[in-house]
Amino acid sequence: MLEMKNVNFDYGNGVPILKEVNLIIGEGEFIGLGGRNGCGKTTVTRLLMGLEKPVQGDILKDGKSIIKQDASVRSRFIGYVFQRPERQMFRPTVAQEIAYGPQQLGMTKRETEEAVAEAMEATGLQKLADAYPPNLNRGEKQRVAIASALAMHTQYLILDEPTSGQDSAEKTKLMRLLTKLNDAGLTILLITHDMDILAQYCKRVIVMGHQTKYFDGTPQKLFTECDELVDLGLTRPQSVTLSMAVAGMKYCKSMAEFQDEMVKRLRGNA
């Protein structure tokens, strides 16, 4: 479990960015982190990673403060996929890039090879083992960044807007991969501005409001009960709007689910 306790933060210029932020990320969760541009989502994840230090408050793992552990120590259990994953790649081939973390952890050659092979298989990168990372497309680069974290046997994976600028097929491919990894036990925290992703794939949503956490609950609660969606820079996904508009219709987290429900109704099954 990762925890932020009463965290205050500014970037050293006296402008408060976060005030009294409290949040818990339990093992095995799939959490979406949303909110307006500039509300502090990336800052929250940088604090969790140890790339920034709180001005006040604490960050804990399994109840113990990790505030003194720098980012290199925390990278053993928290993997991070940056908005521009190419910025975290320095090795000449995909396989060598993925092997870098295990080597830094002191794994033997054999352990490293095994970890790299497993991570490439989990992310479908086997055919790209010898490719030069800068030549990959964005989806492939993201998968290399994810595989690099998996090869270190990370417990938590944080992704910063991984689907922005991607077409629908790439988006679905990535989200299916993340769902599969989450089903296998990986904890995921995903920053996103995509409402469909919050609704369809995340089991819990945290929304940052003005300098602090504003909402923490299920996507269903957020999209059906929260009156401040617009103020928070969010919109209701079309599938939810439509399912709320049809009398007696259950909450539909995706258009596919809405269509299935409608077909059932037309056939007289619902």
Q: Which residues bind ligand ATP (CB under 6 A)?
A: 11, 17, 35, 37-43
Nearer to ligand ATP, 149 or 191 (CB): 191
Encode burial over 103-131: b for 16+ CB neighbours within 10 A, e otherwise.
beeebeeeebeebbeebbebbebeebeeb
Please give the full DSSP string across 157-174, using - where no structure is assigned.
EEEESTTTT--HHHHHHH
Rounded Cα gap, residues 231 and 259, in angstroms: 30
Residue 191 beta carbon to ligand ATP: minimum distance, rounded to whole angstroms: 6
Rounded Cα gap, residues 213 and 22, in angstroms: 7
Residue 37 beta carbon to ligand ATP: minimum distance, rounded to whole angstroms: 4
Residue 231 beta carbon to ligand ATP: minimum distance, rounded to whole angstroms: 15
Residue 77 beta carbon to ligand ATP: minimum distance, rounded to whole angstroms: 22
Q: How far out from the chain centre does Cα 207 lie?
A: 13
Nearer to ligand ATP, 44 or 149 (CB): 44
Q: Which two tokens stand for residue 38?
A: 């500039």
Nearer to ligand ATP, 92 or 165 (CB): 165
Nearer to ligand ATP, 44 or 120 (CB): 44
